[in-house]
Homo-oligomer: A and B are copies of this chain.
Amino acid sequence: MNAGGPDSDPDTGSDRARRRIGGAVLVTGNPNKVREAQRLCGFPVEHADIELPEIQSTSLAEVAHEKARTAWRRLKRPVIVEETGLELVAMNGFPGPLVKWMLDAIGADGIARTAHALGDARAAAVSILVLHDGSSSCIGAGRTEGELVLPPRGDHGFGWDPVFRPDGEPGTYAELGDRRKDEIGHRGRAWRALFRQLSCWQ
């Protein structure tokens, strides 16, 4: 799908992994996440447009696992759910998976302003994907360190993409564009990790 080091290897080559992903349904109410998933997998991913209730927690894994179980109970077939968070160093990792509510309340620039006002712009973007088939789960996790910048910039992506600049990159996720975001971004890393897990999973 793209050139680069091992990190950019989509690892979508395993037939076993492709079959597992292809037999599952990605449950998300966010069309942007569906588009990224299609790009990252390199083949059409079935999805269900359902907004699932999520439990309150700052543990990304806990929220994702519970969401996967809820999705499976609802659909009774293999599901993939994704949970994403933004960890502000200035707030000891808060809001994590609760970032969507902070984004709703004060926007991407408000999140960046908060970090700057507290004197530490560093943040980590994190994603966990869980494929759950009713009896077992397979997990892919991705993490990208960076900093929050002001003012927001760039036209690609969604959510807080315009204020998150990954370490070592010249611009924000929204400036880098899809290809580079997929290569070094938290969600691309999570999908590749899920493929790797599934490639060796019985």
Q: Which A residues lie at the B interface, using CB under 8 A? A: 53-58, 63, 66, 91-98, 100-102, 104-106, 110, 113-114, 117-119
Contacts and interface: CB of A to CB of B under 8 A. Distances in A.
B110 A101 contact: no
Give how many copies assemble into the complex: 2
A56 B58 contact: no
A93 B63 CA distance: 23
Contacts of A119: 117
Contacts of A114: 91, 114, 117-118
A190 B103 CA distance: 29
Given A91-B105, A101-B94, A114-B118, A55 B54 contact: yes
Given A95-B101, A96-B101, 8 more contacts: A53-B55, A53-B56, A53-B66, A55-B56, A56-B101, A91-B105, A91-B110, A92-B105
Contacts of A58: 101, 104-105
A117 to B, nearest CB: 4
